[in-house]
Chains A and B, each alone.
Chain A
Amino acid sequence: AQTVTQSQPEMSVQEAETVTLSCTYDTSESDYYLFWYKQPPSRQMILVIRQEAYKQQNATENRFSVNFQKAAKSFSLKISDSQLGDAAMYFCAYRRTGNQFYFGTGTSLTVIP
């Protein structure tokens, strides 16, 4: 069974600084997709960034980037120039063939002004 592990229940970062959130996953598949979702206090889940396993290049979306290490089954999210609006719960997710998604337990990010 696929599992997704986020080992940091809580993280904090100073405004304008950089923070990295960790995620590891377990799979025997070679073709899959990884996602980071943000859940602000409104509880609306928002897609932050996605990564295809067959691509070696790390995905980037503005201030958000990932460090994808396929062999290590690691998928960390880096947030640069942190802003107050980045404060949220962040979930790492894995999608296997067959359209099933698996989520980690989340990391609560606090941004300190």
Chain B
Amino acid sequence: DGGITQSPKYLFRKEGQNVTLSCEQNLNHDAMYWYRQDPGQGLRLIYYSQIVNDFQKGDIAEGYSVSREKKESFPLTVTSAQKNPTAFYLCASSRRGGGSYNEQFFGPGTRLTVL
């Protein structure tokens, strides 16, 4: 079955440590996205990538970094520079370009807790 996987489901980090969240998709989608979800704030875009080896900052990119070396993978690193990293992180993908059926597909999410 095609879909998006995120790992791990739960992640604990000590202050001052970097941590990488995994996101893999087998939908053959060009575009991939990372969102952060906090209570009462909906989904906020961290980074997105429309094609391999290219990505753009979203609204809240500070303290985060990404890479897009393969079409299937879009890992997110939460660095120690992120002041308040405890949140639920969602990865998504979509077809590139216009068209009616160009919705986003989401992974199951990763809950990151900073201890």
- A residues near B106, Cβ cutoff 8 Å: 37, 44-45
DSSP majority for the A interface?
loop
**B41-73 contacts to A (CB < 8 Å):** 41-43, 45, 48, 50
Whether B74 sits at the interface, judged by CB under 8 Å, is no
Known A43-B109, A50-B103, A52-B100; judge A99-B42 contact (CB<8 A).
Answer: no
| Chain B residue at smallest Cβ distance from A45 | B106
Task: Say which residue of A44, A50, A99 sits within 8 Å of B108 (CB atoms).
Answer: A44
Name 29 A/B residue pairs within 8 A (Cβ), A-sorted: A6-B42, A33-B100, A33-B103, A35-B103, A35-B104, A44-B106, A44-B108, A45-B92, A45-B104, A45-B106, A47-B103, A47-B104, A50-B100, A50-B101, A50-B103, A95-B102, A97-B98, A99-B31, A99-B50, A99-B97, A99-B102, A101-B33, A101-B45, A101-B92, A103-B35, A103-B43, A104-B42, A105-B40, A105-B42
B interface, CB within 8 angstroms of A: 31, 33, 35, 40-43, 45, 48, 50, 88, 90, 92, 94, 96-98, 100-106, 108-109
- Apart from A6-B42, A47-B105, A103-B43: 18 A-B pairs, beta carbons within 8 A: A37-B106, A44-B106, A44-B109, A45-B106, A47-B103, A50-B101, A91-B43, A95-B102, A95-B103, A99-B48, A99-B50, A99-B97, A99-B102, A100-B48, A101-B33, A101-B45, A101-B94, A105-B42
Instruction: State the 3 A-B residue pairs at the shortest beta-carbon distance, nearest first.
Output: A45-B106, A105-B42, A103-B43
